[in-house]
Amino acid sequence: MGEVAPFVQADAYWNMISKTWRKKYLDANASAPSYINVPIMAGVSYLYDELWNDITPYAEFGIGADMMFITGEGAGKINGVEYKRFAYKPSTSLSWMLGLGAYFGRHVSAGIYYYGMGTHTIDYTSSTLKNNMLAKTQMDTDRAINAPRQTRSVGSFVLRLGFHF
């Protein structure tokens, strides 16, 4: 009928902001942030019996933690003096994944997955250069923008191709 097997995995996703926003940062002589997610999962995989000539369907479910990283963001004039830099510190969040796919032979697999990488709270440090003096301020987002605490929910559909040794 099939077999159930446990698994542990770590993945990495790198996302840049949209091309339109990246251009706005570059036009302002600023650095744009990138987002990096590293979900670490433990779960179970169900491998069905072979259906057709070396094609074996499977399903996977995993749960774990997602570590989110955001690269620094800068804005300013540099030669016109005013310069501002943000360094982000997002929280780690509970995450999960669900996938369906098939093995083709014993060494190649392909599947479609959904990763729910949780909701992250983001704190940041702001550095401002004015009159050749660097001032750093530690802030969390609710004090920085005077609004409810900022969070980001992260999820993605992934087409995954695997090579198994």
- Residue 95 has, within 13 A of its CA and on its CB side, a CA count of 28
The candidate with the shortest Cα–Cα distance to 164, out of 43, 53, 58, 41, is 58
CATH code of the domain occupying 2-163: 2.40.160
Measured between alpha carbons, how far is 29 from 41 in angstroms, rounded to an integer?
39
DSSP assigned state of 11: -
pLDDT digits (tens, 9 = 90+) for 111-163: 999 999 998 888 777 666 555 555 554 444 444 444 445 788 888 999 999 99
DSSP secondary structure string for all residues of 74-95? EEE-GGGS-EEEEEEEEPEEEE
Compare 56 and 78 and report the one with higher pLDDT: 56
- The Cα-based distances of 108 to 44, 57, 105, 162, 164 in angstroms read 19, 12, 6, 6, 6
Q: Where are the domains of the chain?
A: 2-163
Residue linked to tokens 């190649």: 108
Model confidence pTM above 0.75: no
Measured between alpha carbons, how far is 164 from 156 in angstroms, rounded to an integer?
23
The number of angstroms, rounded, from the C-alpha of 19 to the middle of its chain's C-alpha atoms is 18
> pLDDT-based confidence at 18, cuts 50/70/90?
confident
pLDDT digits (tens, 9 = 90+) for 29-44: 778 888 899 999 999 9
The candidate with the shortest Cα–Cα distance to 99, out of 117, 116, 111, is 111
